[in-house]
Amino acid sequence: MGEHAQLLLVAVSPTSFRSSTQRRRPRAQTIVTSPAHSRQPRLHFDLTTIQLFIAVADQGSITRGAERVHLAPAAASRRILELESQLGVSLFERLPHGMACTEAGRALLAHARGITHTVQRMQDDAASFVGGDLGVVRVAAPKSAVIQFLPFDILRCATECPGVRIDLQEMNSQEVQQSLRRGTVDIGIYEGSLGVVDLPTAPYRSDRLVLVVARGHALAKRKKVTTEDVLDCDLIVLGESSAISVGLERLAEDAGRVLRMRMRVSGFDSIAALVAQNLGGGVMPEAIAREVAGGSRFVRLPITGEWAARHFVLCHRPHGTLSSAALSVLQVLAQNAKPESRK
């Protein structure tokens, strides 16, 4: 009986081994093929689809977005659906009266804008070379720097970098920082109190703010004013994202005050026109105040607070990504940088 049992085990064992091997084989195949399944599919879309994505996001409507890129609404809808399918996320929330970007859509919209800016830069550079220029350099700067410093610096660039065309874009300091991060400009100048960008920087220029009032204003007979005097004034200020407006709001918040902002305008000349009618005071750089508020109707009062002294930063994309034209312009701007503004 023991022998029979032993023979039975011998006869059964090979079959049992083969069965066990067969059961394990699918598991082995799964392990081998899993890397292929983990690969993300390659994206296939054209520039028109990217431009459509931006247009729909800006317009809040597939119909209006399609019109902007000259597509039929049905074709535009298919392109958006195909793009969402390839990316694996919903770019838009479909609403009863339009479309709004999802959180993923807002994040990817920044990349889409970067793509279109890069293509535009490529077209501009190509056209520049065809026209005989040595390249286009995109420089972004706030209004204060454009008025006070850049006319003289760009003139020097024209002398020292012949054949290089400068595309100057005026925007507030926060927008300059955003453009630098997105890589849509080569060189940016911004007001240093707003913080730094994780890119190469160097000191550029400085200026000092003054309070401009009408000759009939209560402060007009003062020799200078304090921070408290400024916060006590009805103020006419630039847009909410301008460095001066941000600084004033920060001062008021630190003092536990509410900024007495009477009006917001887009330029220093508009501030001066309203100040001339004694509708409020205006804070602006001293050099600009001499230009736009230099008549007998105005009084320009120095501000004693340290915050009134501002320092501008010269920032640029990494050297390895800059063209030779951009490097030459950067060198001129850095050489011309000095601690005090032009008098």
292, 222: one domain: yes
User: Using CB atoms within 10 A of its CB, is residue 109 exposed (0-12), middle (13-18) or buried (19+)?
Assistant: middle
Contacts with 160 (C-beta within 8 Å, 6 or more apart), sequence order: 328, 332
pLDDT at residue number 128:
59
Task: Give the torsion sign (CA, 252, 255, 256, 257).
Answer: negative
On whether residue 272 sits in a domain, the answer given is yes
Name the token pair of 326: 């951009």
98, 143: one domain: no
For residue 238, the domain's CATH number is: 3.40.190.10
Structural domain range at position 232: 208-309
318, 305: one domain: no
pLDDT in single tens digits along all 343 residues of the chain = 444 444 333 344 444 444 444 444 444 443 334 444 445 567 777 899 999 999 999 999 999 999 999 999 999 999 999 999 999 999 999 998 899 999 999 999 988 888 887 787 777 767 656 554 568 899 999 999 999 999 999 999 999 988 888 999 999 999 999 999 988 899 999 999 888 889 999 999 999 999 999 999 999 999 999 999 999 999 999 988 889 999 999 999 999 999 999 999 989 999 999 999 999 999 999 999 999 999 899 999 999 989 999 999 999 999 888 888 899 999 999 987 765 444 4
186, 315: one domain: yes
176, 325: one domain: yes
On whether residue 173 sits in a domain, the answer given is yes
Domain end, chosen from 111, 143, 158, is at 111
Name the token pair of 116: 């279109």
Element holding 282 (H helix, E strand): strand 282-285
